[in-house]
Amino acid sequence: MTRAPLRENAKRSVMIAGHRTSVSLEAEFWTALQEIAQARGQSVQALIGAIDSERGARNLSSAIRVFVLGAFRDERAPSERPLADRAGIGQGVQETGGGMSEA
């Protein structure tokens, strides 16, 4: 089984509560974050600030990834294909017994 090449993280600088910090995320997460912010009528920076205020002890990059995952799970209508199908996640997962299946 060949694996897709790892994608490099994109580091961006944001202002949170008056302090500048940098956040490193994969390009796909930046794109998803922009889509979510636009749908909510807010800036990416404002959305990151809201995520930051709710993240607890989790690091900011991880908190953003978990937020994006949750947002896409929440928006999925029952008639839509699962997120895993849309994202190509879980394809070719090995089942116990040696068979291959799409998850």
Q: Using CA atoms, how far apart are residues 75 and 83, in angstroms rounded to an integer?
A: 10
Name the least confident of 19-23, 62-66, 74-78, 82-86. 82-86
pLDDT at 96: 46
Domain boundaries, the chain: 9-91
In CATH, 9-91 is 3.30.420.40? no
CA atoms within 13 A on the CB side of 73: 6
The DSSP 8-state label assigned to residue 95 in this structure reads P
Q: What is the model's pTM?
A: 0.65
- Given a contact cutoff of 8 angstroms between Cβ atoms, the answer to whether 103 and 12 are in contact is no
* pLDDT tens-digit series, residues 10-60: 899 999 889 999 999 999 999 999 999 999 999 999 999 999 999 989 999
Q: Using CA atoms, how far apart are residues 53 and 59, in angstroms rounded to an integer?
A: 12
Residue 39, amino acid: A
